[in-house]
Amino acid sequence: MELALQIWEWFPLWFRILVEVLAKIVVIVVPLMIAVAYLTLAERRVIGFMQVRMGPNRVGPRGFGQPIADALKLLTKEVIVPTNATRFLFLIAPILTLTPALAAWAVIPFGEGLVLADIDAGLLYVLALTSMGVYGVIIAGWASNSKYAFIGALRSAAQIVAYEIAMGFALVGVLMAGGSLNLGKIVEAQSGGFPGWFVWPLLPLFVVYFISGVAETNRAPFDVAEGESEIVAGFHVEYSGMAFAVFFLAEYANMILIAALTAMLFCGGWLSPFWGDWLATLSAIPLIGWVFAGGVHWFLLKTAFFLFCFLWFRATFPRYRYDQIMRLGWKVFLPITIVWLFVEGIAIVAGWQPWLI
């Protein structure tokens, strides 16, 4: 052990930092990718049960081999580049959608101090990166040299820009309540168990944020960017094989990101929902006490709940018409957020801050 430590010290500092950061990235990205793979299975199974059918259950025990079989199938298929497509942009577009979805995880705190980059402007960073994802969609649609893909890209661009504004305003409400842009500090400001979460004082902003998140990730009922019944598959109609799979990965990684952010900004992140004496009594129980105290497992549980909501929405709601999407974004959500920010501002000036228990 000491020898290993000595060898480690012998390396230059920059090398040690590099190795450490890379190791942390691997620790975050590998479980994330596994989560993405099994989210696709979960989606098909959950929607299957909601529609009273089985879903995929043939590959491996209870269908658990399905994501691996799908990945292998997509890996071995040919990536076809359409004639007169802009080759470079066509191939780089899937990467441009996936990169921001993964990079945003750098500032997500999984537990107290369990974060890759503890930066002060964390919330802004997340907002900036989620707004970058739209480039992949637009470039994919344009470079494909296909009318369906192009229409899908235009729809997606207008939709994402519209909902990003409501989303940004909702986050302004969160940072006003939390008093910081640092995600860890925002979570800590929600201590005090279930009633201390921001979801109660900021309920309208929570609803706006989560629905905007569904729209931002182009999920049903806002999935007009790929509306199968009108434009075949939207912006990724010309993609095949691994290039298509990367779009798929990006969509699910974005879903997990939005779910994690909602859990963190409105539902107390890694904090336990119990409070006061209850928390003290329950966490003092030997062996299973840690379950009731705060920790990574609560964060994962809350994230899983919001991911389930994504799937639930898809099985429940019919697709919006395009003009209704625009109306909802601009004429409903934006006024709600502005009014609630105003109310919140007055509450803060008057010193009436129920979330600071």
Q: Rounded CA gap, 303 and 262, in Å?
A: 8
Interacting positions 59-98 with other proteins (CB under 8 A):
89
Instruction: Establish if 228 lies at the interface with other proteins (CB under 8 A).
Output: no
Q: Rounded CA gap, 269 and 295, in Å?
A: 9
Give which of 172, 163, 157 is closest to 124, Cα–Cα: 172
Among 120, 305, 335, 357, binds other proteins (CB under 8 A): 120
Token duo for residue 276: 């006061």
Cβ 119 to other proteins shortest distance, Å = 7
- DSSP structural state of residue 331: I
Q: Rounded CA gap, 14 and 12, in Å?
A: 6
Among 71, 124, 207, 282, binds other proteins (CB under 8 A): 124
Q: Rounded CA gap, 59 and 246, in Å?
A: 22
Q: Rounded CA gap, 171 and 181, in Å?
A: 10
The smaller minimum CB distance to other proteins, of residues 177 and 199, is found at 177
Cβ 321 to other proteins shortest distance, Å = 10
Cβ 218 to other proteins shortest distance, Å = 14
Instruction: Establish if 320 lies at the interface with other proteins (CB under 8 A).
Output: no
Cβ 142 to other proteins shortest distance, Å = 5
The smaller minimum CB distance to other proteins, of residues 150 and 222, is found at 150
Cβ 305 to other proteins shortest distance, Å = 28
Using alpha carbons only, how large is the chain's radius of gyration in Å? 22
Q: Rounded CA gap, 256 and 39, in Å?
A: 9
Interacting positions 131-170 with other proteins (CB under 8 A):
131-132, 134-135, 138-139, 142, 150, 153-154, 157-158, 160-161, 164
Token duo for residue 213: 């998140």
Total residues interacting with other proteins, rule: CB under 8 A = 28
The smaller minimum CB distance to other proteins, of residues 12 and 286, is found at 12
Give me the residue label for tokens 């008093």. 179
Examine residue 109 and say whether the peptide bond preceding it is cis (omega within 30 degrees of 0).
Answer: no
- Interface contacts to other proteins, rule CB under 8 A: 14, 89, 119-121, 124-125, 127-128, 131-132, 134-135, 138-139, 142, 150, 153-154, 157-158, 160-161, 164, 181, 323-324, 327
